[in-house]
Amino acid sequence: MKALHELGVAELVAAIADKKTSAVEAAQHLLARARQHASLGAYLAFNDDATLAQAKAADTRLAAGERTPLLGVPLAHKDIFVTRDFPTTAGSNMLAGYQSPFDATVVAQLAAAGAVTLGKLNCDEFAMGSGNDNSAFGPAHNPWDSSRVPGGSSGGSAAAVAARLVPAATGTDTGGSIRQPAAFCGITGIKPTYGRCSRYGMVAFASSLDQAGPMARSAADCAVLLSAMVGPDIDRDSTSLDHPAEDYTAALTRPRAGATAAQPLKGLRVGLPTEFFGAGCAPDVLATVRSALAECEKLGATLVDISLPRTELSIPVYYVIAPAEASSNLSRFDGVKFGHRAAQYDDLIDMYKKSRSEGFGPEVQRRIMIGTYVLSHGYYDAYYLQAQKIRRLIAQDFQQAFTQCDVIAGPVAPTVAWKIGEKSADPMANYLADIYTLSTSLAGLPGMSVPAGFGAAHMPVGLQLVGNYFKEGELLHTAHAFQQATDWHTRAPQGF
């Protein structure tokens, strides 16, 4: 048998069910590994007692003959999901030492499916960033090259999965934070349709965009997790969609009409937005994405040229709407109702100022200021309202595109992972790198990243797939067919 950490989710479920290992043994092995590779900066918190108690409970359920989709499988959560047994910081000093009295819905649903929580994973502060270098607790590193970023904001999740510290993890995606770190670390990640997973217990960044999703080594493993994560939670999250849960593992191999064993993608029209394949994308990334698309063609897919004409506008639109919502969401952290309170202050206003200046890092403060500005009287119509109008047009562009194709494909990011610190001094450089992921989020569509090969400096490149609303099954089916024919998703970084 392979070493325990080499097993993916489905393999681990089977190994535990067949008594080749136990939930306790798997948890202990992965906890030790996580500590051995602590310099990766992937984890922010452990609670061995809680983890082992959960693992024991899973073993008891197994012994009683119970079988659930994730029974005994260790998972770790982005530190933006609140957890009763672990501290939650959202990567911020504002929440340092915070312990939630309850579990986020997504965490609870994964636990109900049998998952065991290993710990909490590093992320950009309040999920604002593209490199995990905005975390108040230090950066996470890319396991393919520790001098590079793992992507962000779910950088700890991507690094931990890629380095085989955990078979799968949760992430959140507001403007690309599942897809981009998955691409940078060579793993598979999917952001479902907005509202598909409950936001209850997810520390809010931009509420109309935030969405949870799984990050794992394969589309098949993502399907197992996603099936447990989705579903209505309307009483606790008013934007949760009233759409029943779905078994995405069944979708993986469900044959398309007219498809054959050799051509599982026959009949699938893959749209390539011209705006995603222009000069803005690095040649190594373009070449890797194109060869992945050639593979899709071999598998029966038809490539069609499409246009998403407002792609460039997605950057200013997102960087008005997301900070606007963030400024509102983060106003609750005032040192009174929630969050860090300064030790010394003169009066109430001084207490607010000092608490918020000490608690929030520079990028979060920048966004609060931008958000407050664009929502203020006199600027609201010019910025916020205008951005909302363009957001609607961006969503319409996708609907137009989906009359010509079933899924949209392209790069996830214009380059491979950059060096830690390279973009730290230049927020605009970070924002521009989100060009291919933001529009999907603004439209609320599902999108995923699939390992497609390697680019410059032998760093992983992701193929992005975007589907229409509720087409997660079609995305996972497409990615699974690709992964049956390629082995990029099985490649592991050296030293792990």
Residues designated catalytic: 78, 153, 177
- Cα separation of 176 and 129, whole Å? 10
What single string gives the DSSP state of each residue in 25-78? HHHHHHHHHHHHTGGG--EEE--HHHHHHHHHHHHHHHHTT---TTTT-EEEEE
Pairing outcome for strands 168-173 and 211-216:
antiparallel
- Cα separation of 338 and 335, whole Å? 6
Among the listed residues 41, 69, 114, 129, the single contact to ligand GLN using CB under 6 A: 129
- Cα separation of 224 and 111, whole Å? 13
Binding mask 19-58 for ligand GLN (x = CB under 6 A): ----------------------------------------
CA dihedral 361, 315, 182, 272 (to 10 degrees): 180
Is 173 a binding residue for ligand GLN by CB under 6 A? The answer is yes
CA dihedral 192, 248, 144, 42 (to 10 degrees): 70
Instruction: Locate 41 and state its tokens.
Output: 């900066």
Among the listed residues 70, 73, 111, 128, the single contact to ligand GLN using CB under 6 A: 128
- Cα separation of 268 and 116, whole Å? 37
Is 175 a binding residue for ligand GLN by CB under 6 A? The answer is yes
Among the listed residues 105, 130, 198, 227, the single contact to ligand GLN using CB under 6 A: 130
In eight-state DSSP terms, residue 294 is H
Instruction: Please state, in angstroms and as integers, the Cα–Cα distance from residue 264 to each residue in 247, 255, 257, 408, following that order.
Output: 20, 7, 9, 17
Residue 311 C-beta: closest distance to ligand GLN, Å? 15
Is 171 a binding residue for ligand GLN by CB under 6 A? The answer is no
Nearer to ligand GLN (CB atom), residue 174 or residue 439: 174
Is 445 a binding residue for ligand GLN by CB under 6 A? The answer is no
# chain residues binding ligand GLN, by CB under 6 A: 13
Residue 209 C-beta: closest distance to ligand GLN, Å? 7
Binding to ligand GLN, residues 212-271 (CB under 6 A): none
Nearer to ligand GLN (CB atom), residue 51 or residue 174: 174
Segment contacting ligand GLN (CB under 6 A): 92-100, 127-135, 301-309, 378-386? 127-135
Segment contacting ligand GLN (CB under 6 A): 11-19, 104-112, 125-133, 473-481? 125-133
- Cα separation of 479 and 450, whole Å? 7
- In the complex, the residues that contact ligand GLN under the rule CB under 6 A are 127-130, 153, 173-177, 205, 322, 434
